[in-house]
Amino acid sequence: MESQEDLVPTIVVEPPSVLRWRTMVAVPLAAAFAFGVHMLIAKSEAPLETHSYRLLFAEIIGVSIVLALLRRFSPGLRRWMANMWPIFTAAIVILCVWDVITLGFRILPLPYFPGPSAVLRSLINDRFLLLDSTWHSLVLLLSGYGLGIIAGLISGVCIGWSAPIRYWGMPILKVVGPIPATAWIPLALVVSPSAIVSSAALIALAVWFPVTMLTASGISNTRAAYLDVARTLGAGPRYLIFRVAIPAAVPNIFIGLFMGLGASFLTLVVAESVGVKSGLGWYVSWAQGWAEYGKVFAALIIMAAFFSTIMTLLFKVRDRVLVWQKGVIKW
């Protein structure tokens, strides 16, 4: 038996196993530098305004020193630091540059581009409303996404498997599917009295199209030989659909799920800023209405963390479900 390492060319860049001291001190040094720069340019600011930002850097310096001391006890920590420290350093440097451009030289117009310290303050001051908005967005996103997946899988399997359904279903899919879900918003708000329900339906619609398309093509591209083998093993239509065609289509289905997830983020934010009176999209347009751009940026940061976490979770699910592909294709 050949091991998969022999078969798959390895082009993954391995993180260095040893943690160089240069890498190790980069984070506290960068943080100290950013801290110093901030002290210089924020002299004229009210101390209360920038207090938490300074505290943040103090914490970064403290934690990175503690981790540097702890590293010898844990190889896992060493590997993680060797891998992540350059990224963290770069992030701190970017914060510093942002600070200099906005607060330092006031190159970007206010109030549209507040400095990082003001954004951090908004983040902290408004944390309860932000948390609440995130929660509402999560509920709306998951209900719409879930609904869209269920509908997309059902219609995708039907269209992919049955020729008559493909004949009638494909034209509908091709005509209706490419319309961006957000284009339906004016209609959706009229049809349904509840903005939440109509937004969930719009998100579902946005997800439904790519999931249906990719599921249908995955099902109809099932290798005929797999179906022939299953038939000679005594398989009926149920086995052929659920145990052969659908598993064979799963790699395709996941592509649809990823495309649908991207579409659902977009639709969620637009729907929230137009109709729904809660959620992160609503928060952004509400904060913009008050010209509180610190809050706008705070919400964008939360969105980035929120959406990328969900994306990462979907990747993890895929890795679990498609473990049989490992070594067959390059991940």
Partner 1 sequence: MVAVAEIEAASLVVRDVKKSFPAPENPLSRRQVLDGISFSLSPGELVSLVGPSGCGKSTLLRLIAGLDSIDEGDLLVGSARITAPNAERGLVFQDPNLFPWLTVRRNIQAGLVARGLLHEKKQEVDQFMRLVGLETFANVYPHHLSGGMAQRAALARALINHPKVLLLDEPLGALDAFTRMRMQDEVLRLWQARRTTMLLVTHDIDEAIYMSDRIMIMTPRPGRIERTIDVTLSRPRQRDSADFLRLRSDILNFLHFAGTS
State the minimum distance, in angstroms, from the CB of residue 331 to partner 1: 13
Query: How crowded is residue 148: how many other Cβ atoms within 10 Å of its Cβ?
Result: 30
Shortest reach from residue 146's CB to partner 1, in Å:
24
Length of the chain: 331
Return the structure tokens found at 247.
């598993």
| Min separation Cβ 233 and partner 1, Å | 4
* Contact present, 308 and 297 (Cβ < 8 Å): no
Rounded alpha-carbon distances, angstroms, from residue 128 to 104, 194, 257: 30, 25, 31
> Which one, 178 or 236, has the nearer CB to partner 1?
236
Cα–Cα dist 83/19, whole Å: 9
Of 151, 132, 241, the closest CA to residue 203 belongs to: 151
Buried b (16+ CB within 10 A) or exposed e, 288-313: eeeebbbbbbbbeebbeebbeebeee
Q: Least CB distance from residue 210 to partner 1, whole Å?
A: 22
The nearer residue to partner 1, 7 or 46, going by C-beta atoms, is 7
Rounded to a whole number of angstroms, the minimum distance from the CB of residue 107 to partner 1 is 56
Rounded Cα–Cα distance for residues 295 and 251 (Å): 40
Amino acid at 148: G
State in angstroms the smallest separation of the CB of 253 from partner 1: 12
Toward partner 1, which CB reaches closer, 76 or 237?
Answer: 237
CB of 232 to partner 1, least distance (A): 4
What ranges in the chain are assigned the alpha helix state H? 4-7, 21-41, 47-70, 75-99, 116-125, 127-161, 163-176, 185-191, 195-220, 224-232, 237-239, 246-274, 280-289, 293-321
Nearer to partner 1, 103 or 219 (CB): 219
With beta carbons less than 8 A apart as the criterion, state whether 177 and 234 touch: no
Q: 11 or 225, CB closer to partner 1?
A: 225
Q: How far is it, in rounded angstroms, from Cα 35 to Cα 324?
A: 49
Contact between residue 203 and residue 148 where contact means Cβ atoms under 8 Å apart: yes
Closer to partner 1 by Cβ: residue 9 or 289: 9
| Nearest approach, Cβ of residue 4 and partner 1 (Å) | 7
Which residue, 6 or 14, is less far from partner 1 as judged by CB? 6
- Return d(Cα 17, Cα 217) in angstroms, integer: 43
Minimum separation from the CB atom of position 166 to partner 1 (A): 22
Residue 5 or 14 with smaller CB distance to partner 1: 5
- Give 113 or 226: the residue with its C-beta nearer to partner 1: 226
Binding-site ranges for partner 1 (CB under 8 A): 1-2, 4, 223, 225-226, 228-236, 239, 243-244, 247-248, 250, 323-328
